Amino acid sequence: MSEKNYRLTISYDGSRYQGWEHQPGTDMTIQGKIENVLALMLGFEEGRVPEVIGSGRTDAGVHAEAMIANVIMDTPMKENEIRDYLNRYLPDDICVGNVSEASPRFHSRYNATGKTYRYTCYVGDTKPLFDRKYVYVPDGIPDIDRMREAAKYLVGEHDFASYCAHAGKKKSTVREIYSIDINRKNDRITFIYHGSGFLQYMVRILTGTLLEVGLGKRDPDSIPQLTECRDRTQAGFTAPACGLCMVKVDYD
C-alpha cells in the first residue's frame, strides 16, 4: 500500500457547528468530525488524525451543498467503501456524497478557481416553520430591482475591504465577483454569488448591504463610494449565517 490523495465532496447542515475549521475549545467543527472518523477508520492512535483540507472555511452556522476537501491516506479500502464508512459514523447532519482518487498535487483550496454561494431570504406571510434554520426573514419585503441595480456596481474586481470582517489584516482584500443573481420565487428571495473567492463574512455583509438598498435604507448608486471608502462601518449589517450555503467550487 502507499499514500493516495483523495477528493471528498461533502454536504452539511451547519446549524449546530462552529464552522468548518478547527476551533480551540470545541470539537463541534465539520473538519474535526470528519478527521475523527477517518482516524478511527485508519486505526490511528488516540490524538492522531489525518489532515482534511477544505476548499473554504465556512463560518459557524453556514451550510454547504458541495464543500470539496482532500486528504492524503494510506488505506486498502476502495473509494465507495471510504464514503460508506464515513457516512456510517458521521453525524446525521454531515454527508459525504463522493470520494475519488485525485492527483498527488491536487489541493482543494489552492486549486480552486471560483466559488458559488447562495443566500436565501423568506418573505412569506407566515413563519418559515420547517425551513427556519436555512433562511433569513428580513424586516419587510425588499425591492428586487433596486437590489439588482446596486449589485451591478459590485460585479468585477474590487477591493472589498468595506464588506469584510477584520480587513485590517495584511492579506489582500481584492477579489473578483463574476456575477450576482437576485431572484424571487414565491416566498423566497435568493442571492447567488459567483466569484474568485470571498473574504470572511463577505457574502453576508454584501447581502445585508443589498437588503438595506432593497428596503430603501440606502440608494443603489451609493455602492461605488461605499466600496471605495474601504470602511466596514459604512457598509450594511452582517446577514445571519443561517441563510448562507456554499453551493459549488470550481476547478480547471
* Cβ neighbours for 121, distance < 8 A, ≥ 6 positions apart: 135, 136, 137, 138, 142, 188, 189, 190, 191, 211, 243
Task: Say yes or no: 58 and 125 in one domain.
Answer: no
**Is the pLDDT at 168 greater than 90, yes or no?**
no
Residues 164 and 42 reside in one and the same domain: no
Residues 120 and 239 occupy one common structural domain: yes
Instruction: Look at residues 88, 90, 48 and name the one whose alpha carbon lies nearest to residue 69.
Output: 90
Which is more confidently placed, 170 or 191? 191
Q: Are residues 16 and 135 in the same domain?
A: no
Q: What is the pLDDT of residue 15?
A: 96
The mean per-residue pLDDT over the stretch 12-25 comes to 93
Extended strands (E) in the chain:
4-12, 53-54, 63-73, 94-102, 112-122, 156-159, 174-185, 188-195, 244-251
Average the pLDDT over 217-234 and give the result: 96
Is residue 57, in this structure, part of any structural domain at all? Answer: yes
Tell me the C-alpha distance between 14 and 29, whole Å. Answer: 9
Q: Which residues pair with 197 in a beta bridge?
A: none
- As a whole number of angstroms, the distance between CA 206 and CA 200 comes to 11
| pTM, 2 dp | 0.94
DSSP assignment letter at 50 = P
Question: Would 247 be classed as within a structural domain?
Answer: yes
* Residue at 75 is within a domain: yes
> Among 102, 130, 161, which residue terminates a domain?
102
Confidence check: pLDDT of 101 > 70: yes
Burial (CB < 10 A; 0-12, 13-18, 19+), residue 170, is exposed
Instruction: Note whether 72 and 121 are same-domain residues.
Output: no
Phi, psi values for residue 70, rounded to 5°: -135, 150
Regarding whether 194 and 236 lie in a shared domain, the answer is yes
Give the strand pairing for 156-159 and 174-185. Answer: antiparallel
| Cell 458559488 -> residue | 116
Spatial distance between the Cα atoms of 171 and 155, rounded to a whole number of angstroms:
21
Q: Amino acid letter at 237?
A: F
Residue numbers annotated as active site = 59
Domain that residue 75 falls in: 4-102
Do 45 and 154 lie in one domain? The reply is no
Question: 127 and 214 share a domain?
Answer: yes
Question: Which of 102, 133, 165 is where one domain is finished?
Answer: 102
Do 127 and 247 have their domain in common? yes
The predicted structure's pLDDT at residue 13 = 97
Separation of alpha carbons 232 and 101, rounded Å: 42
Supply the CATH number for residue 46's domain. 3.30.70.580
118 shares its domain with 32: no
**How many independent structural domains does the chain possess?**
2
Q: Which of 78, 102, 126 is the last residue of a domain?
A: 102
